[in-house]
Amino acid sequence: MPLHAAEALILRTYKLGESDRIVVFLTADRGKRRGVARGARRPRSPFSGALEPMTQGRVAYFERERRELVRLRYVEPVCSPLAAGSAEALAHVGYFAELIDEWAPEADPNENLFRLGAAVVRSLAAGVPVERLARYFEFWLLRLQGVYPSIAACRRCGGDLSAGARLFGNGVLTCVRCDTSSEGGGLSAAAMAFLQAARAVAPAELRDVELPSPADRELARVHHRLISTHLEKELKSLRVLQSLTRTAHDG
């Protein structure tokens, strides 16, 4: 029964028996895995504090042939989203983790997806504004999956999109000159400027990238539409996040 060690992101856990947990985690080298953390629910478990969603750490696990579940030996945290502190940041953690879990196939390595998740959680812990990280994460996740429409030029006339764009139901962006319908989601010049910047910077550099609140809402609407269309469902964590956001605004 070989022992494997890898860099990993914890995605989610659920109860198993009286004291154990099943842990879903994304590794850099072997994709998404599922494993049993024995005794993880006990008060003095060595896994305490290491199994929060989007925790980045070093994991070691035993694997047997023809068995879906591995057995976790340890999880050694390297970076925890709990360091972010704010309720808004922590509310996004489950959303990021669920998005990765939905899109990452079992046991299929995707180093770019792992690096995206790890960079975002480090930036979150360092205090980068969470709204910018959320729109950045959605943009790059959809790009990595080949879902995001081209932001380079209008699909109808080939013109520039810097003045604004509209997303149509067939998943293409057109410029404001070709926008002859109220269908789809509109993106202002500020929203398009953020997307152009997101193509060129790392998550930690988002402190210096402007994202006005109206542009943030525009991007959120378009991204959530693309996500729900391609996953063919609404994410549970997104409903929770939207409810918390409405409550904060009402307060």
pLDDT digits (tens, 9 = 90+) for 140-194: 999 999 999 999 999 889 999 999 999 887 688 999 888 766 555 789 999 999 9
More confident: 82 or 153: 153
CATH number at residue 88: 2.40.50.140
Q: 117 and 4: one domain?
A: yes
Q: Which of 127, 146, 181 is the last residue of a domain?
A: 127
Q: 167 and 246: one domain?
A: yes
The answer to whether the CB of 35 falls within 8 A of the CB of 23 is: yes
Q: What is the mean pLDDT of the chain?
A: 91
> Structural domain of residue 38, as residue ranges?
1-127
Per-residue confidence (pLDDT) for residue 176, from 0 to 100: 83
Q: 49 and 83: one domain?
A: yes
Percent of the chain with pLDDT over 90: 72
Looking at the domain assignment, is residue 132 inside a domain? Answer: no
Looking at the domain assignment, is residue 116 inside a domain? Answer: yes
Per-residue confidence (pLDDT) for residue 157, from 0 to 100: 92
Per-residue confidence (pLDDT) for residue 247, from 0 to 100: 57
Q: 74 and 173: one domain?
A: no
pLDDT digits (tens, 9 = 90+) for 126-154: 999 999 999 999 999 999 999 999 999 99
Residue where the block lists tokens 């995206």: 116
Looking at the domain assignment, is residue 99 inside a domain? Answer: yes
Asked if pLDDT for residue 32 goes beyond 80, the answer is: yes
Q: What is the torsion angle, in degrees rounded to the nearest 10, for the CA atoms of residue 231, residue 147, residue 110 and residue 137?
A: -90
Per-residue confidence (pLDDT) for residue 248, from 0 to 100: 54
Mean pLDDT of 88-107: 92
Looking at the domain assignment, is residue 198 inside a domain? Answer: yes
Q: Is the pTM of this model over 0.85?
A: yes
Query: Domains in the chain: how many in total?
Result: 2
Asked if pLDDT for residue 244 goes beyond 90, the answer is: no
Q: 119 and 145: one domain?
A: no
Residue 245, both tokens: 């956001």
Looking at the domain assignment, is residue 69 inside a domain? Answer: yes
User: Which residues are CB-neighbours of 166 under 8 A, at least 6 positions away?
Assistant: 173, 174, 176, 179, 183, 184, 185, 186, 187
Looking at the domain assignment, is residue 153 inside a domain? Answer: yes
Per-residue confidence (pLDDT) for residue 216, from 0 to 100: 96
pLDDT digits (tens, 9 = 90+) for 49-62: 899 999 999 999 99
Q: 203 and 152: one domain?
A: yes
Per-residue confidence (pLDDT) for residue 88, from 0 to 100: 84
Q: Which of 127, 145, 162 is the last residue of a domain?
A: 127
Residue 249, both tokens: 């605004």
Per-residue confidence (pLDDT) for residue 66, from 0 to 100: 75
* Secondary structure string (H, E, C) spanning the chain: CCEEEEEEEEEEEEEECCCEEEEEEEECCCEEEEEEECCCCCCCCCCCCCCCCCCEEEEEEECCCCCCEEEEEEEEEEECHHHHCCHHHHHHHHHHHHHHHHHCCECCCCHHHHHHHHHHHHHHHCCCCHHHHHHHHHHHHHHHCCCCCCCCCCCCCCCCCCCEEEECCCCCEEECCCCCCCCCEEEEHHHHHHHHHHCCCCHHHHHHCCCCHHHHHHHHHHHHHHHHHHHCCCCHHHHHHHHHHHHHHHC
Mean pLDDT of 67-80: 93
Q: 21 and 113: one domain?
A: yes
Q: Which of 127, 154, 170 is the last residue of a domain?
A: 127
Looking at the domain assignment, is residue 221 inside a domain? Answer: yes
Per-residue confidence (pLDDT) for residue 11, from 0 to 100: 97
Per-residue confidence (pLDDT) for residue 240, from 0 to 100: 80
Q: 173 and 119: one domain?
A: no
